[in-house]
Amino acid sequence: MTYCVGLLLNAGMVFLADTRTNAGIDNIATYRKQFVFCEPGERIIVIQTAGSLSVTQTVIAKLTEAIEDPESGPDSSILQAPTMLRVAEMVGQTLSDVSADISAKVSRMTQAASASMIVGGQRRGGAQRLFMLYPEGNFIEATEDTPYLQIGEHKYGKPILDRVVTPDTSLEDARKVALLSMDSTLRSNLSVGMPLDLLVVHRDACAIAEQTRIEAGDADFLAMSEAWSSALRDSFKAVP
């Protein structure tokens, strides 16, 4: 399982992903699920992934190959695509192709291989945009009304997002709410696990403002988690 969240705010964007993957409960490993493609000042594209690792790794590998191919153009390299909408379409198409290809192979085992993704970013002169791609490759976009998108084990971490996040939320608060939303998910679902990958992007900078891997046992994260638990218990006592 996985939990990834992306927030689209007036001040910028915040992305947070866990790193635990598992095949059954006795085969657990750490894999990055957050990928950044950036030409600083020019454009930044962040992709977060959930679902079958064989699908998501192949999608990221194909996107990377296309970027590195000297013959690639605006139709094949997401770093040359004219708009973020086009980027979402290209990632969606790759996801759909890879997923169909792998599913055909594994269907003999009556399994399906699928994945979903969060794609967000900005290109110089364009707007910040954030998309959630379904396994079929189609997608929805974050809006002012719902300025965040989640993939994977999304339910435990949703109540805090619903209550706190608006487009005017500061990046500092957004960073905090993303971590608290992850904290609730970590507590309730063992298949979501540390370390975490956190990425903060300032609006119009088209560059990484902060990129942190938060390891298990990170003192700040533990302190925040502990403070949130006691604040919640205090809040609980305060409610009439």
Residues that bind its own copies (CB under 8 A): 155-156, 158-160, 162-164, 173, 176-177, 180, 184, 187-188, 223-224, 227-229, 231-236, 238-240
Count of CB atoms within 10 A of residue 80's CB? 17
Give the Cα separation of 173 and 165 in Å (integer): 9
Q: How far is the CB of 180 from its own copies (least distance, A)?
A: 7
For residue 132, the one-letter residue type is: M
Closer of 87 and 177 to its own copies (Cβ): 177
Closer of 94 and 169 to its own copies (Cβ): 169
Q: How far is the CB of 172 from its own copies (least distance, A)?
A: 11
- Are 63 and 94 in contact by the 8 Å Cβ rule? The answer is yes
Q: How far is the CB of 4 from its own copies (least distance, A)?
A: 16
Tokens 């533990």 locate to 222
Closer of 77 and 185 to its own copies (Cβ): 185
Give the Cα separation of 72 and 65 in Å (integer): 9
Q: How far is the CB of 131 from its own copies (least distance, A)?
A: 22
Closer of 28 and 223 to its own copies (Cβ): 223
- What lies within 8 Å, CB to CB, of 27 at 6+ separation is none
